[in-house]
Structure 1
Amino acid sequence: MTSDDLVIVVVAGLVGTACGLLGPFLVLRRIALLSDAVSHAVLPGIVAVWLVWQTRAPLPVVVGAAAFAVLCVLGIDALRASGLVASDAAIALVFPALFSLGVLGVTRFADGIHLDLDSTIYGEIAFVPFDSVDLGGGVGVARAAVVLGVVVLLNLALITLLWKELKATTFDPAFGATVRLRPQLLSRLLLVAVAVTAVSAFEAVGAILVVTMLIVPAATAYLLTDRLVVMVALAVGVGWVGAVGGHALAVAYDSSIAGAMGLVCAACFVAALLGSPKHGLLTRRLRRAAAS
């Protein structure tokens, strides 16, 4: 494995870690598709940056995208908190509205220029080693690794400091409200962390891999354990398995790296679905056959 290959694997692993720390809470709260909503809702932020500053530079674009990603998750959470709209319906109401606003902005104000998600926020992980930042002394480190390393630390600090509160409000929001844990505020903090994580990773690795890492490892871990702390650890582990195994698969078959990583994560889910000790389809069938 070359140094560039190692950088790609490490960056993908950092994405898997950042997403794995938050993904289990999304799965347990049944808002896993929030990550996909965020990937569409950032378009008006990109358009706004172009209209105001006439630039597609990475930093302003990420800031604009993050602002609308946060707006998206706060809007979804506000609709859910109203009690009038279910979680899936809230997601389906907010992100199409923001995405439509972005499409209108592109067609009305940015027509004729190459301004779309592919060119601004949907990255390609194979290019990660070529965008480095000097940390001093001539030491260059991939910019994506630095950014995602900070995001991992922030997410780890969030769930460590608020572990009991997040756990209580995830499994029993009514109890959390009774003991004044402020479940709505905790939910919004979690969703903002998801938005920041997603947008921070989009430019480097692409939206598809971010959505995959937020949902698939957490869903896999959900089938393997009933303990939240183990579920989070397993989700992070599956993310790293996807990063390492997916890169090896992509190199072997000369295919898309992000696609191969997503495929390996999906294979882990299928394996858990079939062979989970408690919930696996084959395991339950064998158990019924032995009982009869």
Structure 2
Amino acid sequence: MIFDSNAFLIIFTGALIAISCGFLGVFMMLRKMSMTGDAISHAVLPGIVIGYFVSGSQRSLEVIIGAGLLGILATLMIEGLRKKAKVQLDASIGITFTLLFAIGIILINLFAYKVDLDQECVLYGEIAYLPIDLWITKSGLNLGPRVTWLAILNFLFVVGFIYLLFKELILTSFDEGFSSVMGIPAKGINLALMSMVSYTTVSSFESVGAILVVALLVVPPATAFLWSKSLMPLLRLTAALGILIAVLGYYLAYWLDSSIAGMMVTVAGGFFLISALIKGKKPSWLKGTTKVESPLGI
């Protein structure tokens, strides 16, 4: 079994991304909006193209900002269609991501057809290239893998966001009407959560890819839901699953000579299937309950 600096960096970065996505995915699942992450991952394509036009680089801050703004726009469109136009959530998600993704493809075909910027390079990533993608300053200082620093920054943002808005996220997730009575801006909290999902998706493009980020947003929290009935153990179990997914995914990919990112998600799916077979039934607290104290265990 090989364990060197490159293996450590890949596992460490993959674990950070899995934990960050998993933490956000817990609150997305509580709101029954798990697949909103899928919509965001496709909808940000026009923002990436526009950011590239502005900066002339695929790895610039403008690309991240453009994608983040499009993620927020996608969230607003989904909410607007659901509440104003009375369209069901799944339909509003489908309409939003297909429309914005199609616009992104058209922009690429019209203006960036000679550039290595297409839907494939945007939506898929390979974490195996992480050790050679170094962050070198203008003075020549090597700071290490650029994607690892992005993963650390994103992890700190996610943890800080949940810590600062923990109570608000809980109340708006379980009872939006009650949270409004308590004076909590439910729409603002929801927009903030979707903004974090947008940033996490975009910042993880070049490591595991946007499509695989969607899996990490959904599968580890869903697996943890099968084992836990309270929120804090749920978050801890999601984090533990993220670490296991990164470790097992890396070594299975090494032994089988396959995609590391793909194997990580395969391991996540395996954990879920095994958990579903063992548990056999849905936890009672998910069967329509709206009481905050039941899943929180307080």
**Superposition TM-score, scaled by structure 2 size:** 0.86
Secondary structure at the aligned position of 1:66 is classed as helix
Code of the aligned partner of 1:263: T
> 1:289 is matched with which residue?
none
- How far off is 1:63 after superposition? 2.7
> 1:29 is matched with which residue?
31
- Residues of 2 paired with 1:144 and 1:112: CA distance? 26
Within a 5 Å distance, the mapping from 1:180-219 to structure 2 comes to 180-219=183-222
> Which is richer in helix?
1
Secondary structure at the aligned position of 1:244 is classed as helix
Structure 1 stretches lacking a partner, 5+ long: 281-292
Is 1:147 matched with 2:153?
no
- Residues of 2 paired with 1:100 and 1:279: CA distance? 37
Is 1:273 matched with 2:281?
no
Q: Deviations over 1:142-181 (max 9, x none)?
A: 2112111111111111111211111111111111112121
- Residues of 1 paired with 2:176 and 2:42: CA distance? 28
Code of the aligned partner of 1:65: A
> Which of these residues, 47, 54, 76, is aligned with residue 49 of structure 2?
47
Code of the aligned partner of 1:259: G
Q: Which deviates more, 270-279 or 204-213?
A: 270-279
> 2:125 is matched with which residue?
123
- Residues of 2 paired with 1:114 and 1:138: CA distance? 28
Structure 2 stretches lacking a partner, 5+ long: 284-298
- How far off is 1:15 after superposition? 0.2
Q: Which deviates more, 96-105 or 77-86?
A: 77-86
Distance 1:161 1:55, change over 3 A: closer
- Residues of 1 paired with 2:163 and 2:47: CA distance? 31
Code of the aligned partner of 1:272: S
Code of the aligned partner of 1:176: S
- Residues of 1 paired with 2:266 and 2:255: CA distance? 14
- Residues of 2 paired with 1:158 and 1:129: CA distance? 29
- Residues of 2 paired with 1:108 and 1:134: CA distance? 33
Count of aligned residue pairs for this structure pair: 280
Q: Which deviates more, 163-172 or 41-50?
A: 41-50
Identical residues among aligned pairs (%): 37
- Residues of 1 paired with 2:280 and 2:93: CA distance? 33
Q: Deviations over 1:68-120 (max 9, x none)?
A: 12221232233334371232222112111111111221222233443203335
> 1:284 is matched with which residue?
none
**Superposition TM-score, scaled by structure 1 size:** 0.88
Code of the aligned partner of 1:75: M
Within a 5 Å distance, the mapping from 1:115-264 to structure 2 comes to 115-120=117-122, 122-133=124-135, 140-264=143-267
- Residues of 2 paired with 1:134 and 1:111: CA distance? 29
Distance 1:138 1:116, change over 3 A: closer
RMSD (CA atoms): 2.3
Code of the aligned partner of 2:218: I
> 1:82 is matched with which residue?
84
Distance 1:5 1:183, change over 3 A: same
